[in-house]
Amino acid sequence: MQANEAITMQQALGQLIGGSDLTREQAKSVMNIIMSGEATAVQIAGVLTAMRMKGETKDEITGFAEVMRAHSGRVETEQEGLLDTCGTGGSGIHKFNISTASSIIAAAAGIRVAKHGNRAMSGKTGSADVLEALGVQITITPEQAAQCLNDIGICFMFAQLYHPSLRHAAAPRRELGIRTIFNMLGPLTNPAGADRQLLGLYDRSRTSTVAEVLGELGLKRAMVVSSHDGLDEISISAPTQISELLDGKVRTFDLTPEELGLSRHPITDVMGGEPAVNASLIRAIFAGEQRGAYRDIVLANAGACIYVGGAASSLREGAAIAAEVIDSGKAERKLVSLIQTTGELAHVSG
């Protein structure tokens, strides 16, 4: 079979079970069948399980992501240098919403942020849940999201509104109950075409592969992070493995909290809860009332966003800028702007 030929679900399953990788074009063919609703639930479950057992390759992930992007809604914007920050989830650790808090701080530091997120998948509270609890209107239209981005330098794109074709894989994924390639796809399909990204990954063995995928998808700068204590974030409890995409090349290294000028804290000190609890934590951090572990882990991750966004020359400097953004009240004011702007936009459409 030639690499550019279409492949059926049965052929793909046989190939995967035999231990052979799909080419990028074959992966695109399989994903097109899934996204168009032509695959049965059994076929989808079989292919996803076989891919997981074999180990998904760069070409397979890239092919799936390209098709998912083609089937997704878009936020049309002429802005460049947009940043997204999110995690795959799947860590099994119920931490609070670190990437969501970090995205607001990055925006307050002058980075243009197009945050893509969803309701909870693995923890108790997803980014959509906590933003809703904070008072942000999460169901604004793509056109309104573009306006929000233009007006205040940050927008939130609720994944459920942008990826209707994912419904075809929803039941098999739910019934399987295991991580599959789909857990990686959400963070790879930003509707605004963000070309800079901090991506948290549940599997430390895959950071370099996913960083290479981001390069294939056209991103200019990115960091894929996975900590030694199991977080899909930069940790303050253990070293974090980072695969950095820069100038088309990927390098992988470990980062400790001390290298950022931060203290170590037990992982239990950054646990979260229900949306209202996590919203209160974020408000307290931004108000300067919550210090210690919660503040430090946000500084670590917001600092990485600021670095990837190009406003800091090092991760340590990024963390220091994040601290200044909080202490000056800029983060708190940016959150207020996001709440007010999305509220006004939603009122107009309502």
The 3-class secondary structure across 188-234, one letter per residue, is HCCCCCCCEEEEECCCHHHHHHHHHHHHHCCCCEEEEEEECCCCCCC
Please tell me the pTM assigned to this model: 0.95
Q: How far apart are CA 191 and CA 69, in angstroms?
A: 8
Q: How far apart are CA 127 and CA 99, in angstroms?
A: 8
Question: Collapsing DSSP states into helix, strand and coil, what is residue 342?
Answer: helix
Helix, strand and coil content of the chain, in percent to the nearest 5, comes to 55, 10, 35
Query: Is position 99 annotated in a ligand binding site?
Result: yes
Query: Is position 347 annotated in a ligand binding site?
Result: no
- Give per-residue pLDDT as tens, 178-230: 889 998 999 999 999 999 999 999 899 999 999 999 999 999 999 999 999 99
Query: Is position 117 annotated in a ligand binding site?
Result: yes
- Give per-residue pLDDT as tens, 76-107: 998 899 999 998 876 667 789 999 999 999 99
Query: Is position 119 annotated in a ligand binding site?
Result: yes
Helix (H) or strand (E) holding 149: helix 142-152
> Partners of 246 in the beta sheet?
221, 249
Structural domains of the chain in order of their starting residue, each with its CATH number? 9-70 (1.20.970.10), 83-336 (3.40.1030.10)
Query: Is position 121 annotated in a ligand binding site?
Result: yes
Let me know: does 231 contact 207? Beta carbons within 8 Å.
no
Query: Is position 100 annotated in a ligand binding site?
Result: yes
pLDDT of residue 63: 98
Query: Is position 123 annotated in a ligand binding site?
Result: yes
Query: Is position 330 annotated in a ligand binding site?
Result: no
Query: Is position 328 annotated in a ligand binding site?
Result: no
Query: Is position 301 annotated in a ligand binding site?
Result: no
Rounded average pLDDT over 109-116: 98
Query: Is position 87 annotated in a ligand binding site?
Result: yes
* Six-digit token string for 115: 């945050």
Question: Collapsing DSSP states into helix, strand and coil, what is residue 110?
Answer: coil
Q: Quote the distance between the C-alpha of residue 267 and its chain's center.
A: 21
Query: Is position 232 annotated in a ligand binding site?
Result: yes
For residue 242, give every residue at least 6 positions away whose Cβ sits within 8 Å of its Cβ, in sequence order, or none: 207, 223, 224, 225, 234, 252, 253, 254, 255
- Give per-residue pLDDT as tens, 2-18: 445 689 999 999 999 99
Question: Collapsing DSSP states into helix, strand and coil, what is residue 113?
Answer: strand
Query: Is position 118 annotated in a ligand binding site?
Result: yes
